[in-house]
Structure 1
Amino acid sequence: MVEPSRPLRILVYSDNPRTREQVRLALGKRVHPDLPELDYTEVATGPMVIRHMDEGGFDLVILDGEAAPVGGMGIAKQLKDEIADCPPILVLTGRPDDAWLANWSRADAAVPHPIDPIRLADAVAGLLRAPVQ
């Protein structure tokens, strides 16, 4: 369980700075009153995701499935395969019908583009409240 006194660390990956900004704006500083504040780390490349994840300490990972040249779904699968205590992963899919691909990638949740702030916040709050597996 997350310590209530420390901010929740969120890794946000997309090659598109606008997508990263949309995620931050949709979630804000606090996704729900009963959860701690959010602290974002934004990355624009797949190798940087891996580097940050190797360092650890994240409570949630949000990956853009439409990122190029390395898509978030491939990274999600790699992280779930290689990190024993991998934090929850949310993948942003290109469309609602791509949820099956997010499932294949072993992502814990998927939200389609365009980003709906309410849907994203609900998914993130649910993942942050979920007991650690």
Structure 2
Amino acid sequence: MSDVSVPSTVLVFSPRAEVRAAVRTALGSSPAADVGPLGYVECATGEEVVAAVDAGGIDLCVLDGEAQPTGGMGLSRQLHAEIADCPALVVLIARQADRWLAHWSLADATLAYPVDPLTATDVVAGLLRDRAARRPAARR
């Protein structure tokens, strides 16, 4: 079980401000009572995502799979290859047919866009619980 006093940092990537706002609104300040508060880092470019994840402190990334020119699926694959303690990765997809590509990207989960708050909070809470369970006790 996670320590609800420790906030989790969620990076939300999309070049479109309305997509970032929709994700923040769907997830709210806490996706579940046992997960605790969320803090957000917003990124509008792929370079910002890589820099933020490289800097550390990100627990979960929600990446826009429809973003151009750098998409969330490519970023997901890149982060898995380059980051030793990669945060949990969720890719937003507009079409269910793109789930196979999200699988190729090594994403931990997908969310359909527009974002359904009930589904999004369940997915994110589950991934944050899994991540908290893997943390060394000193970081909790």
Q: Which TM-score tier does this pair reach, normalised by the shorter chain?
A: over 0.9
Alignment partners' CA distance in 2, 1:129 and 1:2: 6
- Correspondence for 2:33: 33
Kept after mapping to 1: 8 A contact 2:63/2:92: yes
Unaligned stretches of 5+ residues in structure 2? 136-140
Deviation at 1:132, TM superposition (A): 3.1
Deviation at 1:68, TM superposition (A): 1.0
Q: How do 1:5-24 residues align onto structure 2 when only pairs under 5 Å count? A: 5-24=5-24
CA shift digits 1:23-57 (9 cap, x unpaired): 00001001101111000000100000011011011
Alignment partners' CA distance in 2, 1:41 and 1:55: 12
One-letter identity of the residue aligned with 1:127: L
Aligned to 1:76, what secondary structure does the other structure show?
A: helix
One-letter identity of the residue aligned with 1:72: G
One-letter identity of the residue aligned with 2:72: G
- Correspondence for 1:125: 125
Kept after mapping to 2: 8 A contact 1:92/1:110: yes
Aligned to 1:9, what secondary structure does the other structure show?
A: strand
Aligned to 2:58, what secondary structure does the other structure show?
A: coil
TM-score (norm 2): 0.90
RMSD over aligned Cα atoms: 1.4
One-letter identity of the residue aligned with 1:21: A
- Correspondence for 1:111: 111
TM-score (norm 1): 0.94
Deviation at 1:4, TM superposition (A): 3.1
- Correspondence for 1:51: 51
Unaligned stretches of 5+ residues in structure 1? none
One-letter identity of the residue aligned with 2:65: G
One-letter identity of the residue aligned with 2:134: V
Alignment partners' CA distance in 2, 1:66 and 1:112: 11
Alignment partners' CA distance in 2, 1:7 and 1:113: 25
Aligned to 2:134, what secondary structure does the other structure show?
A: coil
